[in-house]
């Protein structure tokens, strides 16, 4: 292992965040209870600091530590999305944790460490590094999901997530070991070189590939490995749910894409149909089961399964169109999901979180702004223009047609018409019925900033995405010609 300055410089953002996160944990006992929000602001400052470091590294395209770690525009794009998502999550958390009386300082530490885990994932050039990243992220998330220690639902969710997550990790690790056994290497580029050899595709390699795919599908909550999602999303504190559903998913997609496009691009035919199956199953289960949900967090959980199905279509064919589609999709998805969960967590009924769709009834009469923002997020998630969700879906379908799977685009399109129903049901509740419940919606300044950010990004990505499109185009140059 070579700890030359170049290597260390390249991993500076991760090092900063780890050090600052540890510092945060050390500071925690010295901060009085009512000043805990300082820790949150400290975490935001750390993320900004790391973001500046990452922007400074942009455009280098360096394999570090003999290829164990890759810093390129592609990973930097995902890292910036991770920073932004984490910052928005913290903005939502500050008042939320206070209201739910779970304001512990470790929360921010775990959030930062989870972010570091995700950054390691998207930068991993080696399957073991990747595994470390996944585990770092997952362990932090297990704790965060169980943050409401006294509430059964939260603990149950945490435990479920932990057990199933441990299984998925084990399966993933087994896949890595099979790949290593067959090829003698666990770097992604080494694997790519090995797979290109004729005769390399022994059952062992195929088996390893399938097992790693299972691991990834679990992390992005794609069907048929989605079973944990609704329970965990429902039981976790809503900020954590938003964080997992948006930021966690983005990171998992980033690494899913890198492994399959770089390492297994030579045997694309072996996994194309697996991906198609995952995509169709996810869209089908996500969109149809969401129709009957009464709890909005469960509904959004199924919706996120459906969205995973759409995003997976972007993995089908290693081409510019697909890569752009996937990155654009994830970027828009980050904001609209965080925003939707944000509205859910601010809404309170009799002092408890209002998480039934019933609680949204008549919101427009009480707080037109909140109803309007939720309308933006819902229509955007449903893929209706002029919001970002439309362009995201548009590019995904375009990628599918470009890859020669027009029928898959048709299936996706029809299922998104089914899916539109449950999103507009929320709009219907907010606008077309009269308020009955004692629901209140009182965002404080932090939450307002976060909502403004997410909503305006959702709209901008649909109406004037030009700067972001340019940025994504420069970020994808490295992976595809």
Partner 1 sequence: MTFLSVPILTFLIFFPVVASLLILPFYRRPDSDGTVKWAALGITVVEFVVSLSLLIGHNPHLYQMQFTENHLWIPFANIHYALGIDGISLVLILMTTLLMPMTVLTSWAGISKQVPLFMINLLVLEGAMIGVFCATDFVLFYVFWEAMLIPMYLIIGVWGGPNRIYAAIKFFLYTLAGSLLLLVTIIALYFVGGHTFDITRLTGQHYGMTFQILAFAAMFAAFAVKIPMFPFHTWLPDAHVEAPTAGSVILASIMLKMGAYGFLRFSLPMFPDASHFFTPFMLILSVIAIVWGAFMALAQEDMKKLIAYSSVSHMGVVTLGIFVFNTQGIEGALMQMLNHGITTGALFLCIGVLYDRSHSRLLSEYGGIAKQMPVFSTLLVIFALSSLALPGTNSFVGEFLVLIGSFRNHAVVSSLATTGVILSAMYLLYMLSRVVWGVYTPKSYGMPDLKPYEWGALLPLVVLVIVIGLIPNPVLSVFHQSVAHLVSQVQPSPVALLH
| Binding segment (CB under 8 A) for partner 1, from list 143-151, 294-302, 309-317, 408-416 | 408-416
Closer residue to partner 1, CB minimum distance, 203 or 481: 481
CB of 369 to partner 1, least distance (A): 9
Instruction: Among 256, 271, 390, 405, indicate the residue that binds partner 1 (CB under 8 A).
Output: 390
Phi, psi of 295 (to 5 degrees): -90, 130
> In terms of C-beta distances under 8 Å and separation of at least 24 residues, what long-range contacts does 226-231 make, across chains too?
226/282, 226/285, 226/286, 226/305, 226/308, 227/164, 228/160, 228/161, 228/164, 228/165, 229/301, 229/302, 229/304, 229/305, 230/298, 230/301, 230/302, 231/156, 231/157, 231/160
* 324 lies in the binding site for partner 1 (CB under 8 A): yes
Q: Are 290 and 370 in contact (CB under 8 A)?
A: no
Q: Which of 26, 368, 444, 448 binds partner 1 (CB under 8 A)?
A: 368
Least Å from the CB of residue 474 to partner 1: 12
Q: Rule CB under 8 A: say whether 294 interacts with partner 1.
A: no
Q: Which of residues 303-322 bind partner 1 (CB under 8 A)?
A: 321
Q: Which of 473, 477, 479, 480 binds partner 1 (CB under 8 A)?
A: 473
- Please identify, using beta-carbon distances, which residue of 182 and 427 lies nearer to partner 1: 427
The reply on whether position 341 binds partner 1 by CB under 8 A is no
User: How distant, in Å, are the alpha carbons of 81, 473, 479 from that of 470?
Assistant: 15, 5, 16
Structure tokens at 441: 């919606």
The reply to whether 406 sits near partner 1 by the rule CB under 8 A is yes
Q: What's the CA dihedral at 253, 259, 260, 263 to 10 degrees?
A: 170
- Sign of the alpha-carbon dihedral angle for 472, 478, 479, 481: positive
Count of residues interacting with partner 1 (CB under 8 A): 40
Letters for 413-442 (x = contact with partner 1 by CB under 8 A, - = none) are: xx-xx--xx--xx-xx--xxx---------
Q: How far is the CB of 457 from partner 1 (least distance, A)?
A: 16
DSSP string, 292-321: T--BHHHHHHHHHHHHHHHHHHTTSS-SHH
Q: Which stretch binds partner 1 (CB under 8 A): 153-161, 171-179, 234-242, 463-471?
A: 463-471
Q: How many helices (H) and strands (E) does the chain have?
A: 21, 5
**348 beta partners:** 353, 440
Q: Return the number of the residue (229 or 293) whose C-beta is nearest partner 1.
A: 293
Residues that bind partner 1 (CB under 8 A): 321, 324, 328, 364, 368, 375, 379, 384-386, 390-391, 394-395, 397-398, 401-402, 406, 409-410, 413-414, 416-417, 420-421, 424-425, 427-428, 431-433, 465-466, 469-470, 472-473
């Amino acid at each position: 292992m070579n700890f030359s300055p170049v290597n260390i410089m390249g991993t500076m953002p991760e090092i900063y965040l780890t050090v600052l996160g540890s510092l945060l944990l050390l500071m925690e006992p010295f901060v009085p209870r009512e000043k805990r929000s300082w820790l949150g602001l400290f975490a935001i400052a750390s993320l900004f600091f790391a973001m500046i470091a990452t922007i400074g590294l942009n455009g280098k395209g360096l394999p570090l530590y003999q290829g164990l770690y890759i810093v390129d525009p592609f990973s930097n794009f995902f890292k910036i999305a991770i920073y932004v998502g984490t910052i928005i999550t913290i903005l939502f958390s500050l008042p939320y944790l206070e209201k739910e009386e779970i304001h512990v300082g470790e929360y921010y530490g775990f959030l930062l460490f989870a972010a570091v885990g995700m950054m390691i994932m998207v930068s991993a050039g080696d399957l073991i590094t990747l595994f470390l990243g996944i585990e770092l992220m997952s362990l932090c998330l297990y704790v965060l999901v169980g943050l409401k220690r006294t509430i059964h639902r939260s603990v149950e969710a945490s435990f479920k997530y932990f057990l199933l997550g441990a299984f998925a990790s084990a399966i993933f690790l087994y896949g890595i070991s099979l790949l290593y056994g067959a090829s003698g290497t666990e770097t992604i580029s080494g694997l790519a070189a090995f797979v290109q050899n004729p005769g390399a595709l022994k059952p062992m390699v195929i088996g390893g590939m399938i097992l790693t795919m299972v691991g990834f599908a679990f992390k992005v909550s794609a069907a048929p490995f989605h079973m944990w999602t609704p329970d965990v999303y429902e039981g976790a504190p809503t900020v954590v749910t938003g964080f997992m559903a948006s930021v966690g998913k983005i990171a998992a997609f980033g690494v899913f894409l890198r492994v399959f496009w770089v390492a297994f691009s030579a045997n694309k035919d072996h996994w194309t149909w697996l991906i198609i199956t995952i995509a169709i199953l996810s869209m089908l289960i996500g969109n149809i089961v969401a129709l009957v949900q009464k709890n909005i967090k469960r509904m959004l959980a199924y919706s996120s399964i459906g969205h995973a199905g759409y995003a997976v279509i972007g993995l089908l064919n290693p081409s510019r169109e697909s890569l752009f589609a996937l990155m654009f999709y994830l970027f828009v998805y980050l904001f609209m999901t965080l925003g939707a969960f944000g509205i859910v967590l601010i809404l309170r009924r009799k002092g408890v979180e209002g998480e039934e769709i019933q609680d949204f009834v008549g919101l427009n009469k009480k707080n037109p702004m909140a109803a309007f923002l939720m309308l933006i997020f819902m229509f955007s998630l449903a893929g209706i223009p002029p919001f970002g969700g439309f362009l995201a879906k548009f590019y995904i379908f375009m990628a599918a047609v470009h890859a020669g799977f027009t029928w898959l685009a048709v299936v996706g399109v029809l299922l998104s018409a089914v899916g539109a129903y449950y999103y507009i049901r929320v709009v219907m509740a907010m606008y077309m019925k009269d308020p009955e419940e004692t629901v209140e919606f009182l965002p404080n300044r932090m939450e307002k900033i976060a909502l403004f950010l997410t909503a305006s990004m959702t709209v901008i990505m649909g109406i004037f995405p030009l700067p972001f499109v340019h940025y994504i185009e420069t970020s994808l140059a490295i992976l595809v010609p």
